[in-house]
Chains A and B, each alone.
Chain A
């Protein structure tokens, strides 16, 4: 560890011709060789791991993304840090001459098998044959190369993919961009499954919910998802739908892609009942140029404390504000409507009623009470007025509804 010069018999794993030289310590070399062999045999996870190690040649600074933990001790220009990759944890030393040396590799060579046994995150294909939902493992991490494919990012609630599937299907069917239950039954969907028994984010893991994009326990899964999303960038209109805590993994995966400067134009995103910070997720989705339906979220119920605290109490205000600033087709009436919806669902109507009222008065010719009762109906509270409008003045109803 104290010898900073790479010895001659050690083969450089990257940076031979350009960039920083990356070498392996003798103890890590055989493990690296196996990883390389696995990658050549077409193992999805091994390919990501090898590419991750090799990307060190471009320096650590550009890897300003989540899978680097800060050093344990920094002194005299030496730096040690961990690199967490699928199936592998690498300890890397940054030497004073700018070269990198992989000191130690803890690799799980059975990672592919563990993925297949649903003990590690992976991509599964869900199909409904004769009324039964069944998930089957996809080894190469590629989604079905078809237009309008729905990909669910599920929460860490169980190990068994079928069980997770059972808990997620109804959320997915309710998400407006998935095309509904009929569509899902007919074509099936892909599912990024993260095994585990504790929900991501929510009421109990507040720091995880707020900092999902940098949370180390989600690295592995997010890295695999980011790779899957990257692979799918040439497929048209893929719909990425997160279910509950899946929003945390999707947020981190989007962060990884955003750090690499990737955009996914034409793809769409939606968060069903998110339990991690929505404001962050929305701004990342924006930077990836992901499109959305009227709302980024679906089935958001702020009476659920996991969504209320995990999803961000104030995101009901922040998200509309961000959108008002950044989106062209997002007018002030929608802004006001969303503000009111957010307010209404957290039962603090009084605070924004005045602001809403005055803003509505300014921006539209519709009378204030009519719009308010209408929006509250859309927000889920029982309201008679919109129902009456729908029944007796359908054209007016659809005209107002079209705006929201």
Chain B
């Protein structure tokens, strides 16, 4: 109650932030190359001025979209934002915005797609997802330790017209980054849709420390509600591609579990080991 956006004081006790109501969320429908996607999401209401909202085009063709590299370090994966919104979550009684859920739906494609493989094949889809995560998150290394754990809580979505999975990407121990949540599914042989959520909370320190002050439950719940409202209808071409890709394949299931990928090289592991040794040595000198 009284979760207004006006900030006059600092929240010091545990609170459950309140965001927009999902009950009154409007329906959003769009199609990419004939594949129809619909979902429900509240109106854009961000705390950050630089976060923009993108309305999806009613219809678009893959080949007409301008694809940009998803990260600056290389052009291995390209993206195009189809839909973007953010919602602020306010604390009680003039404590202002304490959290924010950002959402994005993007079309993702490799820069040089493998002509023989198809994302409709579960194994190819898994490989694609793993490579995409590697591309996005393997670059962040601190003291030889990877900053991210990806994927965490991998879950296969059933029933769904094509292979689909949800998972989290969480900060590794020692990193303060807020968790991300993903929902991936293919829409053509060489394209997949990425539904991305960022579960941001304000305040100082690690996520565990934030857990004691600001609850993540409502922010997570909104992302779950939106995710559950997503529905797709594959275009006839996509269905044809899927049927062709699955010809002669017996195991058409995604793996039930997918542990976090190890991004670091042996050299980086050695660096991390040295860092740990240094810390032990520091303690030794201190206690002597």
CB of B286 within 8 A of CB of A137, answer no
B204, A130: Cβ atoms closer than 8 Å = no
Does B202 interact with chain A (Cβ within 8 Å)? Answer: yes
* Chain-B contact segment, one of A159-167, A252-260, A353-361, A362-370: A159-167
**What 0/1 readout, one digit per residue, does chain B (39-78) give for beta carbons within 8 Å of chain A?**
0000000011111100000000000000010111000000
Is B79 part of the contact surface with A, judged by Cβ < 8 Å? yes
* Cross-chain contact A117 with B205 (CB below 8 angstroms): yes
Whether B84 and A131, one on each chain, are in contact in the complex, defined by CB atoms closer than 8 angstroms, is yes
Residues in chain A near residue B68, CB distance under 8 A: 130
Contact A113 B198 (CB under 8 A): no
Contact A38 B143 (CB under 8 A): no
Q: Which of A119, A166, A169, A197 has the most CB of B within 10 A?
A: A166
Contact status A117-B142, CB under 8 Å: no
Asked whether B84 lies within 8 Å of A162 as measured between CB atoms, the reply is no
In the complex, A159 Cα to B203 Cα: how many Å? 6
Contact B48 A166 (CB under 8 A): yes
Of B104, B175, B198, B205, most buried by chain A (CB within 10 Å of CB) is B205
Secondary structure class of chain A's binding surface, majority of residues: mixed
Q: Which of A5-13, A28-36, A330-338, A384-392 contacts B (4 or more CB under 8 A)?
A: A28-36
Q: Are B285 and A30 in contact (CB under 8 A)?
A: yes
B286 & A166 in contact (Cβ 8 Å cutoff): no
Q: Mark B111-152, 1 if CB is under 8 A from A, else 0.
A: 000000000000000000000000000001011000100000
B278–A41 touching, CB < 8 Å: yes
Contact B81 A130 (CB under 8 A): yes
Residue of B nearest to A109 (CB): B282
Could you say which interface size class chain B belongs to?
Answer: 35 or more
Which single member of B106, B140, B174, B281 contacts A37 (CB below 8 Å)?
B281
Whether the Cβ atoms of A37 and B205 lie closer than 8 Å is no
A341–B204 Cα gap in the complex (Å)? 40
Enumerate chain B residues within 8 angstroms of A38, measured Cβ to Cβ.
282
List A residues 244-299 near B (Cβ within 8 Å). none
The complex places the Cα of A38 from the Cα of B286 at a distance, in Å, of: 12
Pick the most buried of B47, B50, B143, B198: most chain A CB atoms within 10 A of its CB: B50
**Contact with A160, one of B79, B174, B203, B288 (Cβ below 8 angstroms):** B203
Residues of A with C-beta under 8 A to B71: 129-130
Q: Which of A131, A134, A169, A195 is B204 in contact with, Cβ under 8 Å?
A: A195
B253 at the interface (CB under 8 A from A): no
Return chain B residues, CB-CB under 8 Å to A118.
Answer: 176, 204-205
Q: Is the CB of A34 within 8 A of B176?
A: no
Q: Which residue of B is nearest A173, CB measured? A: B50
Interface code B195-237, partner A: CB below 8 Å = 1, 0 otherwise? 0001010111110000000000000000000000000000000
**In the complex, what's the smallest C-beta–C-beta distance from A108 to chain B, in angstroms?**
12
Q: Given A159-B205, A163-B202, A130 and B79 touching (CB < 8 A)?
A: yes
A158-B202 contact given A116-B142, A118-B176, A166-B49, CB 8 Å threshold: yes
Q: Within the assembled complex, what's the spacing in Å between the Cα atoms of A100 and B111?
A: 64
Cβ-defined contact, B282 with A34, below 8 A:
yes
Q: In the complex, what residues of B have CB within 8 A of residue A82's CB? A: none
In contact, A30 and B288 (Cβ under 8 angstroms): yes
Which positions in A face B, CB cutoff 8 Å? 30-31, 33-34, 37-38, 41, 109, 113, 116-119, 127, 129-134, 136-137, 139, 158-160, 162-163, 166-167, 169-170, 188, 195, 197
